[in-house]
Structure formats: structure tokens, C-alpha cells
Structure 1
Amino acid sequence: MKSLILKTVSTTLLPLLILFSVFVLLRGHYLPGGGFIGGLIAAIAFILHAFANGLTQTRKVLRMHPGFLIPIGLSIAILSALAPIILTGDPLMTGLWYEKDIAILGKIGSALFFDTGVYLVVIGVCLTIIFTISESV
């Protein structure tokens, strides 16, 4: 697409949408939101950038194939789900929480790590599908 307005807007919106997706990810274990919605917002940001600037330019911004995010995210999610069994002997996916508050983030627990894994998987899957379809057309 050769629209100067869309190129300018997508370049401006990419960092803002990524920042918003991280905000939705971080507030997800207390309020509505989380890894899935945050991952969709981040994927939409990169898809908008690809529509405006081309797939090769977006791949340069990503610096890695989005398919590599899938096993990384799955590993983080699985480890956070198994952590209660390994560390305390509690059932699978029992929430573990660090007792002290962390500045800006609040209390950190295994739910945040699980959401981060889901976030990475959703970005990887969505971008892999869209980029594969875009390459074949």
C-alpha cells in the first residue's frame, strides 16, 4: 500500500500499541485483560505496520521470525504451571505469589508468568499465520 498517511500513522502507532499491549498484559492478573488480549493487540500493531510498510520492513523491525516466540512462550507458560508442583508440592497451576510489592507492578506471581507465555504464543501464532498468508499472495 502506498499511502503516506497510513505509513506515518502506523510508524507512530506501533510503539504506542506495543506499550498498550504490555499494559493490558500486566494488569491482566488483577483485572480483565491478560496475555491473550495483550498478544492480540501487539500482533495487530505489527500487522498494521506490515500493511503500511511492507512485510520486509516489518520483519526488520521484529528482528526474528515470529514462529520462534511460540516455543519460548509455551516453555514459560508450562514452567509457571508446573512451578507449584516443583516448589511447594501444591496442585498444578496453583498461584504462587512473591510476598513483597514490586514498584509499578505490584505483587508478582505465577499468573503473570503464565500470562507472559500466553502473550508470546499469541503474538507468534498470529504473526506467523498472517505473514505466511501475505507471502503466498
Structure 2
Amino acid sequence: MNTLIFRTVAPFLTALMILFSVFVLLRGHNEPGGGFIGGLIAASAFAIYGIAYGVAAVRRAIIVHPMSIAGAGLLLAVVSGLVSVFAGVPFMTGLWIYPSLFGVEVPLATVMSFDVGVYLVVVGAITSIALALEEREED
């Protein structure tokens, strides 16, 4: 399935899928979507890129090891839950802050940082699995 057309379309499709995965991540929590589904879409994009160009190209594209991405996501998700404990409310209670950026008040929540953590865990873990399977297939 490594045709010229597929190799030509794969980078554009990968970029579009990663952009869509970020959209799904950000619309998450209140509507269908969120970190898990967005992460699956992004991991699928890396899998398509890997099928077209090989495992080495994906590893160069993501720069860091996929399990490091998963570990960073897990750390972010845990810290998001612990923030509420340090604030004196039950674990995983959503907290909001409202910083002003360029004169615009932007609400930031621990709920969003938890979703980003889940996104990173899913992207890292599934991409790591996909790359390991693809490497085994190339041998």
C-alpha cells in the first residue's frame, strides 16, 4: 500500500488529522470529544504517516520518544488532580483561574489540563504500540 499517491497525500492527511484532534480535544468536556478521542485521532495520524514513510520518519517527526510523551501526560493529569487537594477541596475537583491576556480575560481550568494530560497519554501510548508493531513488521 506504499504507492506514490499515498506517500504524497500522507503528510497533508497527517497534518489535517492532528489539527482535527486538537479541535476535538478543545471542544471536549462539554460536547462529544475530549482528550481520549483526540488522542486516538492523533495516534492514527502518526500511524498513517508511519505506514507511508516508515517508523524512522515518525520518530524524527515527533522528536521525543512516545513513552516520554505518555509519561508527561500522566504527570500533567495527576498534577491537575492534586491542585484541588492543595486548594483544600476533594481530589479532582475542577478549579478555575481567570488571567488577563492582552486585556482579555481567559478562563483556565484544571479540567482542561487533565484532558490535555489524557490526550498526551493516549497519543504516547498508542503511538508507541503502533511503532513497535510496525518495526516488528519491517524486520
What TM-score does the superposition give when structure 2 sets the normalisation length? Answer: 0.89
Identity of aligned residues (%): 46
- CA RMSD, Structure 1 to Structure 2 (Å): 1.9
Q: 2: CA distance between counterparts of 1:98 and 1:20?
A: 27
Gaps of 5+ in 1: none
**CA positional deviation for 1:95:** 0.7
Structure 2 letter corresponding to 1:74: L
Q: 1: CA distance between counterparts of 2:130 and 2:51?
A: 11
Matches within 5 A, 1:11-30: 11-30=11-30
Structure 2 letter corresponding to 1:72: A
Q: Is 1:95 the equivalent of 2:107? A: no
Q: 2: CA distance between counterparts of 1:96 and 1:38?
A: 23
**CA positional deviation for 1:30:** 2.2
**CA positional deviation for 1:107:** 3.0
Structure 2 letter corresponding to 1:2: N
What TM-score does the superposition give when structure 1 sets the normalisation length? Answer: 0.90
- Cα deviation 1:11-63 (Å, max 9, x = unaligned): 11111111111111111122111100000000000000000111111111111
**CA positional deviation for 1:100:** 5.9
Structure 1 letter corresponding to 2:97: Y
Give the paired residue count. 135
Q: 2: CA distance between counterparts of 1:134 and 1:9?
A: 20
Gaps of 5+ in 2: none
Q: In structure 2, what is the equivalent of residue 73 of structure 1? A: 73
Q: 2: CA distance between counterparts of 1:76 and 1:107?
A: 18
Structure 1 letter corresponding to 2:57: Q
Structure 2 letter corresponding to 1:93: M
